[in-house]
Amino acid sequence: MTVPLTLASASPRRKELLSQLWPSFAVIPADIDETPHVGEQPRAHVTRLAQEKALTVSALHPHTLVLAADTIVVARGEILGKPENDQDAFTMLGLLSGQEHQVMTAISVAFTDKVFSQCVETQVWFRPLSNADITEYWATGEPADKAGAYGIQGLGGRFVERINGSYSAVVGLPLVETEHLLQQAQQTLVKQYSGELGERGIID
């Protein structure tokens, strides 16, 4: 039995990755405040955002599984979001240059008020970057909408010496963990609500 799925993200990268796991799904981006809470640790922050995104869309579309994800880059304990301008990107990439950092991607699957979540952490090592490297990369436009001001699946991949963990999580959606979480959520919900869902025509 299959429960319909909605992706609560406008990211084309997440949509492309999810299509490897699920044949068809709706896309309804979630609009939430992503400002970190005072004193909030990175793992708690990214997990909260994924949960809020999933629950926000699920509240409006209660008869579907809702998958949401959020990705942050953490360097020296500092959460790096999307750069606001070239100077911001220069600062972020300077922090990453020649150093190890963490990429945390949290995934959440919601159905009405129930939510299943997991956070996947990957270590990433950058080669040293020159000022020219950073200037030229910013000019491509790629860093502007990327957490940490780079995209490993794009031109920013040439800065990455190696990773330890999930490549797809760095891109934005950890495939192994997402598949497992969707299966877990679907099995749990079908077991608990199979009669009700069948009557509503939600499962087949």
pLDDT in tens, the chain (204 residues): 567 999 999 999 999 999 999 989 999 999 898 888 999 999 999 999 999 999 999 999 888 899 999 999 999 989 998 899 999 999 999 999 999 999 999 999 998 878 999 999 999 999 999 999 999 999 999 999 899 999 999 999 999 999 999 999 999 999 999 999 999 988 887 776 655 555 555 545
User: CB 69: neighbour CB atoms within 10 A?
Assistant: 27
Coil/strand/helix, residue 68: strand
Select from 2.40.110.10, 3.40.50.300, 3.90.950.10, 3.40.50.970 the CATH code of 5-199: 3.90.950.10
Residue-range domain boundaries for the chain: 5-199
Q: Which amino acid is present at 99?
A: Q
Q: Which two tokens stand for residue 31?
A: 């609009």
What pLDDT is stored for residue 81 in this prediction?
87
Spell out the residues 6+ positions from residue 132 whose beta carbon is closer than 8 angstroms to its own: none
Measured CA to CA, the distance from residue 7 to residue 14 in angstroms comes to: 9
Active site residues: 70
**Cα dihedral value 184, 190, 192, 197, nearest 10:** 140
What b/e readout covers 178-200, taking b as 16+ CB neighbours within 10 angstroms? beebbeebbeebbeebeeebeee
Measured CA to CA, the distance from residue 138 to residue 161 in angstroms comes to: 19
Task: Find the distance separating the first CA and the last CA of the chain, reported in whole Å.
Answer: 5
What pLDDT is stored for residue 198 in this prediction?
54
What pLDDT is stored for residue 63 in this prediction?
82
Q: Which two tokens stand for residue 186?
A: 């679907």
